[in-house]
Amino acid sequence: MTNNNSPFRVYIAENWEKEKLKKWLNLWNLKKEIDTTFKENSFEPYNVINSEDSVFKEKIKEIVRDFDKFPKEGEIRLLSPEFDLEISLPKYIAVLRKWPENTFLVSPFSPISIAAVQGEFEAGKKHFSLANMELWNSTIAPLQVLERSWLADELTQEQTNDAFLVFKFIATGIDLPERLKKRIGPPIFAEDDPRNEYQNEEEIKYLLFKEACEKAMETESALFNLYQTVKTKIRIFIGENLSTEYRPMAAGQANKADFSIPVKDSDFEIVVEWDEYEEVTKFWIKGEKASEICAKNNKLVVVFENGETVVHKFDNNKNIFLKIPKKNYPIAEIKFSLE
């Protein structure tokens, strides 16, 4: 469709495009007709939650599977219904690529099994609800949002790569390999094309999911870029024993490494202090027994979320401060070993 050696881009519809659009329009019209027919005949059920219904709700909650953690490329996942604006068909999404900083490029599947527009791709899955991918409706999902889903199926490596090529085709305009050209849909030209209505409907369906992704990423980016971050729960160990689980947010502190942690059953606090001039996190001991603790060869070990550790020896009051340059992972644990 694009003429590489010419300043013209000429589009002349091919027969397969006309055929595909015809089939799609037939399905779209059928969908409208079925929607209307079912609506006319629908009845509003008695909408009261009585005690029997409450028992039923409790029972079914118990038999729902837990979400599947650790999403991977090529997986097809069913999103949690918490992302539904209203009662909805299953929202299946494909995990296309692992993206930087614990995020993933994901793409929904269309409820209509024929590719409607150039940004849709018939990847080769046989089941009708997984037959057609909406690459135009892709989004970046952070891990914590994407984990609110169940693993349902998988794409092959080839299907995943092909879908990513179609994504690049619509996002950057790269040429599509010949073998994929008939597996996408035809372009849209007219403003009154019913596919515009379809795309709007599909976009709205994923609104809550996309909002949740954006919100989570805004938080993430604030955490990662400005200062040393901490996990929502920092575990303090004295020797091998877990002494304290400190939650900075619950204590009215920020996610920034800048607060004092009272250690349970002891006479000291661990001060964690972000120094924005030196861009280091300082650790030191505060309290009546601080001097006594630092006078011995006690050790302080800071553990980051990725498992990285920094060990500090107080060495008879010589090294009162531990200073750690900013790292990209949050602080997860502080271990204190007393002699």
Q: List binders of another protein among 281-320 (CB under 8 A).
A: none
Q: Which is nearer to another protein, 80 or 255 (CB)?
A: 80
Q: Which is nearer to another protein, 190 or 250 (CB)?
A: 190
Q: Which of residues 56-115 bind another protein (CB under 8 A)?
A: 56-61, 63-65, 68, 78-82, 84, 87-91, 111, 113
Q: Provide the 10 A C-beta neighbour count for residue 1.
A: 14
Q: Where are the alpha helices (DSSP H) in 106-178?
A: 143-146, 157-172
- Minimum distance from CB of 250 to another protein (Å)? 25
Q: Would you count residue 180 as binding another protein (CB under 8 A)?
A: no
Q: Would you count residue 55 as binding another protein (CB under 8 A)?
A: yes
Distance CA(119)–CA(121), nearest Å, equals 7
Q: Which is nearer to another protein, 26 or 316 (CB)?
A: 26
- Using CB under 8 A, pick the residue from 71, 74, 108, 186 that binds another protein: 186
Q: Would you count residue 172 as binding another protein (CB under 8 A)?
A: no
Q: Which is nearer to another protein, 22 or 69 (CB)?
A: 22
- Using CB under 8 A, pick the residue from 70, 100, 190, 318 that binds another protein: 190
Distance CA(293)–CA(11), nearest Å, equals 78
Query: Cβ neighbours of residue 239 under 8 Å, at least 6 residues apart?
Result: 336, 337, 338
Q: Would you count residue 264 as binding another protein (CB under 8 A)?
A: no
- Using CB under 8 A, pick the residue from 73, 102, 124, 193 that binds another protein: 193
Short-list 92, 91, 99, 90, CA closest to 72: 99
Phi first, then psi: give them for residue 186, nearest 5 degrees: -80, 160
Q: Would you count residue 137 as binding another protein (CB under 8 A)?
A: yes
Q: Which is nearer to another protein, 4 or 241 (CB)?
A: 4
Tell me if 297 sits within 8 A of 316, measured CB to CB: yes
The window from 127-135, 216-224, 233-241, 274-282 that contacts another protein (CB under 8 A) reads: 127-135
Q: Which is nearer to another protein, 83 or 259 (CB)?
A: 83
Q: Would you count residue 166 as binding another protein (CB under 8 A)?
A: no
Q: Which of residues 27-46 bind another protein (CB under 8 A)?
A: 27, 29-35, 37-38, 40-42, 44-46
Q: Which is nearer to another protein, 81 or 177 (CB)?
A: 81
- Minimum distance from CB of 43 to another protein (Å)? 8
Tell me if 73 sits within 8 A of 95, measured CB to CB: yes
Q: Which is nearer to another protein, 41 or 225 (CB)?
A: 41
3-class state of residue 164 by DSSP: helix
- Using CB under 8 A, pick the residue from 73, 147, 154, 305 that binds another protein: 154
Distance CA(166)–CA(181), nearest Å, equals 9
Q: Which of residues 224-253 bind another protein (CB under 8 A)?
A: none
- Minimum distance from CB of 123 to another protein (Å)? 14
Distance CA(154)–CA(139), nearest Å, equals 19
- Minimum distance from CB of 232 to another protein (Å)? 23
3-class state of residue 127 by DSSP: coil
3-class state of residue 135 by DSSP: helix
Short-list 183, 206, 261, CA closest to 86: 206
Q: Would you count residue 214 as binding another protein (CB under 8 A)?
A: no
Pairing of β 259-262 and β 269-275: antiparallel
259-262: strand order across its sheet: 259-262, 269-275, 280-286, 322-325
Distance CA(267)–CA(235), nearest Å, equals 18
How many chain residues bind another protein (CB under 8 A)? 89
3-class state of residue 263 by DSSP: coil
